[in-house]
């Protein structure tokens, strides 16, 4: 169940990023770039929310 929710979240946001990228080819401005960066940061945070153990191991490895 948890993996399905995570996968669906990634698919949803990946589609949004693809649509923004297509739009960005026609409209090159700071808003489309900042939106893509914001969604990427959100996806990284979602990964830590769904996998706190993995995030903990990564933090320990960095220390």
Write the DSSP symbol of residue 29: S
Question: At 27, phi and psi to the nearest 5?
Answer: -120, 100
Residue bearing the bigger pLDDT, 6 or 59: 6
The shares of helix, strand and coil residues in the chain, as percent rounded to the nearest 5, are 90, 0, 10
**C-alpha–C-alpha distance, residues 47 and 34, integer Å:** 20
Check residue 60 and give its pLDDT: 64
**C-alpha–C-alpha distance, residues 21 and 44, integer Å:** 19
Average pLDDT over residues 9-29: 76
- The rounded percent of the chain whose pLDDT value lies above 90 is 0
Average pLDDT over residues 33-49: 73
Residue bearing the bigger pLDDT, 34 or 56: 34
Long-range contacts of 32-38 (CB under 8 A, 24+ apart): none
Report if pTM > 0.75.
Answer: no
Residue 51 has pLDDT above 70, yes or no: no
């Amino acid at each position: 169940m948890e993996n399905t929710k995570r996968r669906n979240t990634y698919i949803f946001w990946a589609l949004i990023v693809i649509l923004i990228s297509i739009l960005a080819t026609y409209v090159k401005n700071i808003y489309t770039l900042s939106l893509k960066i914001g969604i990427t940061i959100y996806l990284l945070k979602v990964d830590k929310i769904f996998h706190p153990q993995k995030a903990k191991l990564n933090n320990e490895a960095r220390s």
